[in-house]
Structure 1
Amino acid sequence: MQNNDWWRGAVIYQIYPRSFKDSNGDGIGDLKGVISKLDYLANLNIDAIWLSPFFTSPMKDFGYDISDYKDVDPMFGTLSDFKELIDKAHAKNLKVIIDQVYSHTSDQHAWFKESRKDKTNDKADWYIWAEAKPDGTPPNNWLSLFGGSAWQWDTARQQYYMHNFLTSQPDINFHCVAAQDAILDTAKFWLELGVDGFRLDVVNMYFHDVELTDNGVADSPEKQFVGVDPANPFSKQFHIHQMCRDDNLEFLKRLRKLLNNYPGSTTVGEIGAPDGMSYMAQYTEGGDKLHMAYTFELLNDRCEPDYIRNTLKRVNEKLSDGWPCFSLSNHDTVRSATRWTRNCSNPEEKIKAMLALLLTQRGTPCIYQGEELGLPEANVAFEDLQDPFGIEFWPEFKGRDGCRTPMAWENKSDLGFSNSGNSWLPPEAAHQALSAASQDGVKSSTLEFTREFIAFRKQHSALISGKLEWLSNGGDCLIYQRQNDNEKIIVAINFGEQAFDLGSYAGSEIIWGELSSGKINPYQIVIFKTE
């Protein structure tokens, strides 16, 4: 029987195709490159891969500016390549999740080209257009994440259009039902091709306030937009009129109704917002909207044990019947191996502890490519930057290129990524010794730890579907219980620099790790079975 709830507790692996593996020597990763590494992915014991955008695009924001939702950009291959990828992944019991960017398109998309012609064409209201104020300035004070006003003047329509990101990324008007229908049709296209689900980019940014009310000042930390550098003016506003609108719930229900026609398909939404956990709950509760969602609370620079514990507690308390997806790294953030090991005496062991934490929470863990190798953030010189976000805010914010450099396959200067000698971002020299080939078969390596721990996780249903109860309320050792009808397990992970006496927390049988005189050493993982 097909397990339609396979996504509950599945391990997802995120692939940034441009940087994963180049198959044709042009210095850019592609779909055939992903196909060539399916054995590697299957051997990680993961359940699914998530592919960042590979659709037709002018690549101003590296694929998150789509000009054709229903085709593959030639730099990544063809639709036939993608169909081959799905078939070969499924043959290895790997599900395939793809990014869907519904909030906005490229200004090169046929929809926008028609919409901007005049105010009366069939797609005139498919995007967010507004009149200038009497003095010619934008209609309100809304800001773009990528700097400056969220409004761009268009000389053809003699109006402003809204863009939450680059000026070349106009926002779709989700108040227009015809635009919603067109978006749902793109989703159906990929479901018919056989994809197993969607990762939904900025899922809380689909709708806006039709009155175009000015945003207020973000006068407290709770109103700061999660993940935005303080150097960015965007962080100064409380964007409640620009995003996070209740109208979103009805569209998510429409999307879920479509997916229900494809049993076993799933969704995971990205939520970047103040109090993102409340939106996680709202968007995933009731079984009629998103299947899963994640926020940025574990993707920032904070990694002290009390913060981790309190954040994960809040997730469990707020979600009720909703389901979380957890990640420590992705294509938009500094790699966890750098963020979480600053001032650490044993980075390699702490990286393993981080992965164990990710893989033992109640929810669906997502590993970003290279995280299983413990790759640190790459140092990318300004002259090599590709990310418009980083170029705009350099040097206070260096952008996202440091986590997007080529995957480390081999211990050589090109990392085995491409034989072109000129990859789109320079390979990071510090990644050579951490390559997959260097770690393969080395029992103490992060790669082998990841493979073994995911396999261990699959053997214990409590770690996949069990409830979670925190047993420790303070200190550097995170201790919690996972329990379902079949077993009860206690997980202890020491994130401190001193050994910790587990005392009464210890269970009856150690099934992972070891204790030294009843103590768990720094950055070690011990898991017990208990009665």
Structure 2
Amino acid sequence: MTQSQPWWKGGIIYQIYPRSFMDSKGDGIGDLRGATGKLPYVASLGVDAIWLSPFFPSPMKDFGYDVSDYRGVDPLFGTMEDFRALVSEAHRLNLKVIIDQVISHTSDVHPWFEESRRSRDNPKADWFVWADPKPDGTPPNNWLSIFGGSAWAWDTRRGQYYLHNFLASQPDLNFHNPEVRQAQLDNMRFWLDLGVDGFRLDTVNFYFHNQNLADNPAVPAGENKTFVAQGMNPYTYQRHVNDLSQPENIGFLNDLRALMDEYPETTLVGEIGDDRPLERMAEYTSGDDRLHMAYSFDLLSDRHEPEYVRDVVKRYQQGLGDGWPCWALSNHDVVRVVSRWADGGEDLRLYPRVLMALLLSLRGSVSMYQGEELGLPEASVPYEELQDPYGISFWPEFRGRDGCRTPIVWEPSPKGGFTSGKPWLPVDRDHLEFAVSKQEADPESTLNSVRRLIHWRQQQPALVQGDITVFDDTGEALCWSRKTTEQFLLVALNLTGEELRLPLPCAISRPLEGHGFHGYVEGSQLVLPPYQAFFAET
């Protein structure tokens, strides 16, 4: 297929959560050497890139999203030499390397914060968001932490509050300070010089705050809550108009893009959690001087009814302009999609495959999460073995993120072939039947079916690069066309356990083969057996 656009545009990114991918040392925690040893497996899937979740030095109170050194490798994960070896091996296998950058906040043991909290007049006094209390001693405003409670923590040394959008041990940097912005750009340059091909930017719209510290308004009665924990978290009762997504962020995105433009073929993908995610994505990815692409939580939610999915795809097509989405159905922060979208009785051999067909047929780039190719459901983690502070705080209504972070099962043994030690999270016994070694030996397994689908998709110009038009009035079926000058395709998907019959949404010239699905045409009708798809040229 002719490459008419950059590798990332329409590319497939495989997310590796290093703690749970492969342990080479026997301490129960996955590491960089373990991940490097499994890169041939990742490359065999046909993906274009890997995304490594944080491996930087950290006290691990939020498992690496609380960084204490932006230019190092935590000994849990190995050494800088291990990282260099991973990049070298990935590039040998024609895999690009994207790494997380968690630059909106640090750990409270980062040297920057330790210096900042010592006094109000030290060189880094203004590197974090500090504020005096109200006259009655309460926090300066009503902003809330995503992890529960006030977003302000009291510091006795300065006699002030500091802002933390997440854990109290994750103080927010003050991006209104130009020294902070330059320091983070320099840290990113460090990794670019080591050969990384891009960054996944954690909470990319959280960098700036309203300098007047104005209160957030309440969500009006009857309106939907926001993007976090489905309304059970008090954070969702506010409209987040002052604590994130500030207009000053655009200038910093310009600076980020200018840095990336010094390193050809690199990319930025931003995570956006916002009350108006599509509006923010369009703003952050428009033109050629901001993010290359971004993703939001629209398909990482519980909602999956056909009319909802159609509406999401249409809204993005109509509202994103020249911006570019990166679609995901699962990641390290949400319940695995096989379980999240399950209505009961799903065929766990077929359901994950048609979900992957959905993901791979959307217009945009794709981020798939480790284990998604195996069809892994959410793991069951008992309360006494929970590690996630988010889950511990909101148990049992919200069980946190540990269920999607359990170790990958490489073989059907008690420890899943992940480690020779005690896994940091328990291996779910129900996952053993999904083990890589078992699926590799079965030509019709989910793994081999997804592998064939990915390789097939990579050869279809319309699926990688084409425009999309959604067909309405197709009932429970999801139907859209993908079009380039080279190819015009019809895509039809049945995410239900019932056979669907519907009139052909458009004329077709020939059904396509090689993708592994069994939808077919009968007269003027399109027939989609349970959990099946249909692809045809028109």
The aligned residue for residue 339 of structure 1 is 340
CA distance, structure 2, for counterparts of residue 14 and residue 127 of structure 1: 30
**CA-CA distance at 1:516 after TM superposition:** 6.1
CA distance, structure 1, for counterparts of residue 16 and residue 154 of structure 2: 36
The aligned residue for residue 130 of structure 2 is 129
The aligned residue for residue 291 of structure 1 is 292
Question: Residue by residue, what CA displacement relative to the aligned partner does 1:201-244 show, whole Å, maximum 9, x if unpaired?
Answer: 01111111000001111125766221323221111111111111
Instruction: Provide the secondary structure at the position in 2 that maps to 1:322.
Output: coil
Instruction: Provide the secondary structure at the position in 1 that maps to 2:368.
Output: strand
CA distance, structure 2, for counterparts of residue 335 and residue 451 of structure 1: 19
**CA-CA distance at 1:409 after TM superposition:** 0.6
CA contact (8 A) 1:223 1:274 kept: no
The aligned residue for residue 469 of structure 2 is 469
**CA-CA distance at 1:319 after TM superposition:** 0.8
Distance 1:221 1:466, change over 3 A: farther
The aligned residue for residue 107 of structure 1 is 108
CA distance, structure 2, for counterparts of residue 333 and residue 459 of structure 1: 30
**CA-CA distance at 1:474 after TM superposition:** 4.1
CA contact (8 A) 1:293 1:324 kept: yes
The aligned residue for residue 522 of structure 1 is 530
Question: Residue by residue, what CA displacement relative to the aligned partner does 1:360-407 show, whole Å, maximum 9, x if unpaired?
Answer: 111001110000000000010010000000111111111100000000
Supply the AA of the counterpart residue of 1:479: C
Supply the AA of the counterpart residue of 2:148: G
The aligned residue for residue 383 of structure 1 is 384
The aligned residue for residue 453 of structure 1 is 453
CA distance, structure 2, for counterparts of residue 460 and residue 220 of structure 1: 47
Supply the AA of the counterpart residue of 2:463: L
Question: Residue by residue, what CA displacement relative to the aligned partner does 1:123-154 show, whole Å, maximum 9, x if unpaired?
Answer: 11110000011111110111111111100111
Unaligned 5+ segments in structure 1 are none
**CA-CA distance at 1:507 after TM superposition:** 1.5
Distance 1:472 1:344, change over 3 A: farther
The aligned residue for residue 12 of structure 1 is 13
Instruction: Provide the secondary structure at the position in 2 that maps to 1:68.
Output: coil
CA distance, structure 2, for counterparts of residue 89 and residue 256 of structure 1: 24
Supply the AA of the counterpart residue of 2:207: Y
CA distance, structure 2, for counterparts of residue 345 and residue 79 of structure 1: 44
**CA-CA distance at 1:472 after TM superposition:** 3.1
Distance 1:299 1:220, change over 3 A: farther
CA distance, structure 2, for counterparts of residue 36 and residue 177 of structure 1: 41
Residues 189-268 of structure 1 mapped to structure 2, 5 A cutoff = 189-219=190-220, 224-268=225-269
Instruction: Provide the secondary structure at the position in 2 that maps to 1:287.
Output: coil
Instruction: Provide the secondary structure at the position in 2 that maps to 1:383.
Output: helix
The aligned residue for residue 407 of structure 2 is 406
Distance 1:205 1:521, change over 3 A: same
Residues 62-73 of structure 1 mapped to structure 2, 5 A cutoff = 62-73=63-74
Supply the AA of the counterpart residue of 1:488: F
Distance 1:170 1:312, change over 3 A: same
CA contact (8 A) 2:479 2:505 kept: no
Residue 92, structure 1, aligned to residue 93, structure 2: yes
CA distance, structure 1, for counterparts of residue 255 and residue 479 of structure 2: 40
**CA-CA distance at 1:344 after TM superposition:** 4.0
CA contact (8 A) 2:474 2:502 kept: no
**CA-CA distance at 1:341 after TM superposition:** 2.2
Supply the AA of the counterpart residue of 1:356: A
Supply the AA of the counterpart residue of 1:152: A
**CA-CA distance at 1:70 after TM superposition:** 0.3
Question: Residue by residue, what CA displacement relative to the aligned partner does 1:391-428 show, whole Å, maximum 9, x if unpaired?
Answer: 111111111000000001111111100011x1100001
CA-based RMSD: 1.5
TM-score w.r.t. the length of structure 2 is 0.96
**CA-CA distance at 1:495 after TM superposition:** 2.3
Of 234-243 and 501-510, the range deviating more from structure 2? 501-510
CA contact (8 A) 2:348 2:375 kept: no
Distance 1:317 1:480, change over 3 A: same
The aligned residue for residue 53 of structure 1 is 54
**CA-CA distance at 1:506 after TM superposition:** 5.3
TM-score w.r.t. the length of structure 1 is 0.97
Instruction: Provide the secondary structure at the position in 2 that maps to 1:217.
Output: coil
CA distance, structure 2, for counterparts of residue 402 and residue 504 of structure 1: 39
Unaligned 5+ segments in structure 2 are none
CA distance, structure 2, for counterparts of residue 262 and residue 516 of structure 1: 48
The aligned residue for residue 77 of structure 1 is 78
**CA-CA distance at 1:502 after TM superposition:** 4.0
CA distance, structure 1, for counterparts of residue 487 and residue 476 of structure 2: 26
CA contact (8 A) 2:285 2:294 kept: yes
The aligned residue for residue 279 of structure 2 is 278
CA contact (8 A) 1:353 1:495 kept: yes
**CA-CA distance at 1:2 after TM superposition:** 10
Of 182-191 and 217-226, the range deviating more from structure 2? 217-226
CA distance, structure 2, for counterparts of residue 455 and residue 81 of structure 1: 29
Supply the AA of the counterpart residue of 1:28: I
CA distance, structure 2, for counterparts of residue 74 and residue 222 of structure 1: 46
Supply the AA of the counterpart residue of 1:436: V
Instruction: Provide the secondary structure at the position in 2 that maps to 1:187.
Output: helix
Residue 396, structure 1, aligned to residue 404, structure 2: no
The aligned residue for residue 149 of structure 2 is 148
Instruction: Provide the secondary structure at the position in 2 that maps to 1:132.
Output: coil
Number of residue equivalences: 529
Distance 1:353 1:221, change over 3 A: farther
CA contact (8 A) 1:139 1:212 kept: yes
CA distance, structure 1, for counterparts of residue 315 and residue 459 of structure 2: 28
Supply the AA of the counterpart residue of 2:291: L
Instruction: Provide the secondary structure at the position in 1 that maps to 2:229.
Output: coil
CA distance, structure 1, for counterparts of residue 222 and residue 330 of structure 2: 23
Distance 1:80 1:221, change over 3 A: farther
CA distance, structure 2, for counterparts of residue 373 and residue 189 of structure 1: 35
CA contact (8 A) 1:4 1:265 kept: no
Give % identity.
Answer: 51
CA distance, structure 2, for counterparts of residue 345 and residue 454 of structure 1: 22
Supply the AA of the counterpart residue of 1:291: H
CA distance, structure 2, for counterparts of residue 83 and residue 439 of structure 1: 31
**CA-CA distance at 1:121 after TM superposition:** 1.0
Instruction: Provide the secondary structure at the position in 1 that maps to 2:205.
Output: helix
Question: Residue by residue, what CA displacement relative to the aligned partner does 1:310-334 show, whole Å, maximum 9, x if unpaired?
Answer: 1111111111100000000000000
Of 470-479 and 284-293, the range deviating more from structure 2? 470-479
CA distance, structure 1, for counterparts of residue 168 and residue 110 of structure 2: 14
CA contact (8 A) 1:227 1:300 kept: no
The aligned residue for residue 490 of structure 2 is 490
